[in-house]
Structure 1
Amino acid sequence: MRHALLTAALVLSTAATAAQLQVYPYDGARLLAGQHFDLRIEAEDVKDFKTATVTLDGRTVDGLTRTTTKPTSVEWTLRTQSLTAGSHILTVRYSDGAGDQIKSVRWNAVAPAAAKAKNVILFIGDGMGWNTVNAANLIAHPYNPANGMPTGKLAMMSDLSSMASVNTSSYDSALADSANTASSIATGQKIQVNALNVYPDNTADTLDNPRVETISAMLRRAMGKGVGIVSSAFGVDATPAAFASYTRRRGDYSAIADQYFKGDVQPDVLLIGGSRDFIPSTAPGSRRKDATDWIEGSQKMGYTFVSNRTELNAANATKLFGLFNIDNVPSYLDRAQYKSKEMLGDFTDMPYLWDSAQKAVQTLEKNPNGFFLMVEAGMVDKYEHPLDWQRAVWDVLELDRAVAWAKEYAKTHPDTLVLVTADHAHSLSVYGGYDATKGPGKREAVGVYEAAGFPTYGDKRDANGFPLPETDRTYAVGFAAVPDYCETYLGRRIFLDPTVSNGQTGTAAGYVPNPKICAEGSVQRTGNLPPTSNQGVHTADPLPLFAFGAGAENFSGMMDQTDIFFGVAKALGLDATKSK
Structure 2
Amino acid sequence: MQVMKYLLGLALLASTVASAASLSIYPYDGAKFVPGQRFDLRIEAENVQELKDAAVTLDGRPVEGLVRTTSKPTSAEWTLRSQSLPTGLHELKVRYTDANGEVTKTARWYVVPVVAPRAKNVILFIGDGLGWNTVNAARLVAHPYNPANGNATGQLAMMSDLSGMATVTTSSYDSAMADSANTASSIATGQKIQVNALNVYPDNTADSLDNPRVETITAMVKRSMGKSIGIVSSAFGVDATPAAFASYTRRRGDYQAIADQYFKGDVQPDVLLIGGSRDFIPSTAPGSRRKDATDWITDSQKQGYTFVSSRTELNAAGGNKLFGLFNIDNIPSYLDRAQYQTPEALGDFKDMPYLWDSTKKAVETLEKNPNGFFLMVEAGMVDKYEHPLDWQRAIWDVLELDKAVEWAKTYAKSHPDTLVLVTADHAHSLSVYGTYDAAKGPGKREAVGVYEAAGFPTYGDKRDANGLPLPETSRTYAVGFAAVPDYCETYLGRRVFLDPTVSNGQTGAAAGFLPNPKLCQEGAVTRTGNLPPSANQGVHTADPLPLFAFGPGSENFFGMMDQTDLFFSMARALGLDATRTR
In the superposition, the TM-score normalised over structure 2's length comes to 0.99
- Describe how 1:259-408 pairs up with structure 2 within 5 A: 259-408=261-410
Q: Please tell me the residue identity of whatever aligns with 1:474.
A: T
Name the structure 2 match of 1:4: 7
Q: How many Å separate the matches in 2 of 1:41 and 1:13?
A: 23
Residue 418 of structure 2: aligned partner? 416
Secondary structure (helix, strand or coil) at the match of 2:315 reads helix
Q: Using the TM superposition, give the Cα deviation of residue 224 of structure 1 relative to its aligned residue in structure 2, in angstroms.
A: 0.2
Q: How does 1:437-452 map to 2 (within 5 A)?
A: 437-452=439-454
Cα distance, 1:12 vs structure 2? 2.7
- The aligned runs of 1:176-325 (5 Å cut-off) are 176-325=178-327
Look up the SS of the partner of 2:45 in the other structure.
Answer: strand
**In 2, Cα distance between the equivalents of 1:416 and 1:347?**
34
Q: Which amino acid is the alignment partner of residue 257 of structure 1?
A: A
Identify which of 87, 91, 101 aligns with 1:85.
Answer: 87
Q: Distance in 2 between matches of 1:344 and 1:113?
A: 48
**Paired residue secondary structure (2:467):** coil
* CA drift at 1:14: 2.4
**Equivalent-residue separation in structure 2 for 1:8 and 1:134 (angstroms):** 62
Residue aligning to 1:502: 504
3-state SS of paired residue (1:493): coil
Alpha-carbon separation, structure 1, partners of 2:63 and 2:112: 21
Q: Find the aligned partners of 1:385 and 1:73 in 2 and give their Cα distance.
A: 41
**5+ residue gaps, structure 2:** none
Of residues 111, 117, 120, the one that matches 1:118 is 120
Q: Could you say what secondary structure the match of 1:391 adopts?
A: helix
User: After superposition, what is the alpha-carbon deviation per residue over 1:311-348, rounded to whole angstroms, capped at 9, x for unaligned?
Assistant: 00000110000000000000000000000000110000
Give a deviation string over 1:449-493, Cα, whole Å, max 9, x none.
001110000001000010000000000000000000000000100
Question: Contact 1:27–1:106 (CA<8 Å) still a contact in 2?
Answer: yes
Distance 2:8 2:107 in 1: 38
SS of alignment partner, residue 134 of structure 2:
helix
CA distance in 1, matches of 2:334, 2:141: 15
- Aligned residue identity for 1:20: S
Distance 1:124 1:65 in 2: 38
Tell me the SS of whatever aligns to 2:407: helix
Q: Distance in 2 between matches of 1:9 and 1:170?
A: 37
Q: Is the 8 A contact 1:511 1:533 kept in 2?
A: yes
Conservation of the 8 A alpha-carbon contact between 1:18 and 1:99: no
Summarize deviations over 1:188-245 as a string: whole Å, max 9, x none.
Answer: 0000000000000000000000000000000000000000000000000000000000
> Which residue of structure 2 aligns with residue 570 of structure 1?
572
- Identify the residue that residue 486 of structure 2 maps to in structure 1: 484
Q: Which residue of 2 aligns with 1:468?
A: 470
State the shift of 1:4 in Å: 3.1
Query: Displacement, 1:6?
Result: 3.1
Contact 1:142 1:456 in 2 (8 A): yes
Given residue 146 of structure 1, which amino acid in structure 2 is its aligned partner? A
Separation of aligned partners in 1, 2:114 and 2:282: 43
Aligned to 1:549: 551
In the other structure, the counterpart of 1:13 is: 16
Q: Is the 8 A contact 1:22 1:41 kept in 2?
A: yes
Query: Deviation string for 1:164-191 (max 9, x for gaps)?
Result: 0000100000000000000000000000
Aligned to 2:44: 42
Structure 1: unaligned runs, 5 residues or longer? none
- SS for the counterpart of 2:149 is coil
C-alpha distance in structure 2 between counterparts of 1:310 and 1:359, whole Å: 12
User: Which of 62, 65, 72 pairs up with 1:63?
Assistant: 65
Taking the aligned partners of 1:507 and 1:94, their CA distance within structure 2 comes to 44
Q: C-alpha offsets along residues 512-561 of structure 1, whole Å, 9 cap, x if unaligned?
A: 10000000000000000000000000000000000000110000000000
| Counterpart mapping for 1:160-175 below 5 A | 160-175=162-177
Distance 1:249 1:198 in 2: 10
Secondary structure of 2:218's match? Answer: helix
Aligned to 1:72: 74
CA–CA separation in structure 2 for the residues paired with 1:455 and 1:313: 36
Compute the displacement of 1:113 (Å). Answer: 1.1
CA distance in 1, matches of 2:196, 2:422: 23
SS at match of 1:539: coil
Residue 5 of structure 1 and its aligned partner are, at CA, apart by 3.7
TM-fit CA distance, 1:3 = 4.1
Residue of structure 2 equivalent to 1:532: 534
Output the CA distance in 1 between the equivalents of 2:404 and 2:14: 65
Quick check: 1:22–1:42 contact (8 Å CA) kept in 2? Answer: yes
CA contact (8 A) 1:459 1:471 kept: yes
Q: In 2, Cα distance between the equivalents of 1:92 and 1:318?
A: 48
Question: Could you say which residue in structure 2 is the equivalent of 1:136?
Answer: 138
Contact 1:119 1:372 survives alignment (8 Å) = yes
Between the aligned partners of 1:533 and 1:396, the Cα distance in structure 2 is 25
Q: Secondary structure at the match of 2:162?
A: coil
Q: Deviations over 1:418-469 (max 9, x none)?
A: 0000000000000001000000000000000001110000001000010000
Inter-partner Cα distance in structure 2 for 1:111 and 1:284: 51
Asked if 1:52 corresponds to 2:63, the answer is no
C-alpha distance in structure 2 between counterparts of 1:543 and 1:18, whole Å: 40
Q: Which stretch shifts more, 94-103 or 374-383?
A: 94-103
Tell whether 2:469 aligns with 1:429.
no
1:18 to partner: Cα distance: 4.2
What SS does structure 2 have at the residue aligned with 1:538?
coil
Q: Distance in 2 between matches of 1:36 and 1:214?
A: 9
- Aligned residue type for 1:495: F
Equivalent position of 1:458 in the other structure: 460
1:10 Cα deviation (Å)? 1.6
**CA deviation after TM superposition for structure 1 residue 45, in Å:** 0.6
Amino acid at match of 1:361: V
Deviation for aligned residue 1:78? 0.1
Deviations 1:138-183 (A, max 9, x none): 0000000000000000000000011000001000000000000000
